[in-house]
A = this chain, B = another copy of it.
Amino acid sequence: MTDFAATKALFHLPDGMIYLDGNSLGPLPLAARDHVGKMMQDEWGDMLITGWNKAGWMAKPQDLGDRIGRLIGAEPGHVVMGDTLSIKVYQAVASALELNPTRKVVLSDNGNFPTDLYMVEGLLRSLGEGYELRVVDPEAVADAITDEIAVLMLTEVDYRTGRMHDMKALTDLAHAQGVVTVWDLAHSAGALPVDLAGCNADFAVGCSYKYLNGGPGAPAFIYVAPRHAETVRPALSGWLGHEAPFAFDLDYRPGAGIERMRVGTPPVLQLTALETAMDIWDMADIHDVRAKSIELCDLFIAEVEASCPQLTLASPRIGTQRGSQVSFRFAEGYAAMQAVIARGVIGDFRAPDIMRFGFTPLYVDEADVRAAVAILADVMNNDLWDRPEYKIRSKVT
Interface residues of A (CB under 8 A from B): 12, 14, 17, 19, 21, 24-25, 27-28, 32-33, 36-37, 40-41, 44-46, 48-53, 57-58, 83-87, 90, 94, 110, 113-115, 117-119, 121-123, 125-128, 135, 207, 209, 215-220, 233-240, 242, 246-252, 263-271, 273, 341, 346, 348, 350-351, 394-397
Contacts and interface: CB of A to CB of B under 8 A. Distances in A.
A115 B209 CA distance: 28
B114 A235 contact: no
B14 A46 contact: yes
Centre residue among A27, A218, A238 by max chain B CB count within 10 A: A238
B48 A27 contact: yes
Contacts of A51: 25, 216
Centre residue among A17, A49, A348 by max chain B CB count within 10 A: A49
**Number of identical protomers:** 2
A350 B248 contact: yes
Centre residue among A44, A57, A236 by max chain B CB count within 10 A: A44
A75 B269 CA distance: 30
Top 10 A-B residue pairs of the complex, sorted by shortest distance between their CB atoms? A84-B264, A115-B239, A122-B237, A217-B267, A86-B238, A86-B264, A216-B268, A118-B252, A28-B45, A52-B396
A254 B324 CA distance: 32
Contacts of A217: 57, 265-271
A28 B14 contact: no
A44 B250 contact: no
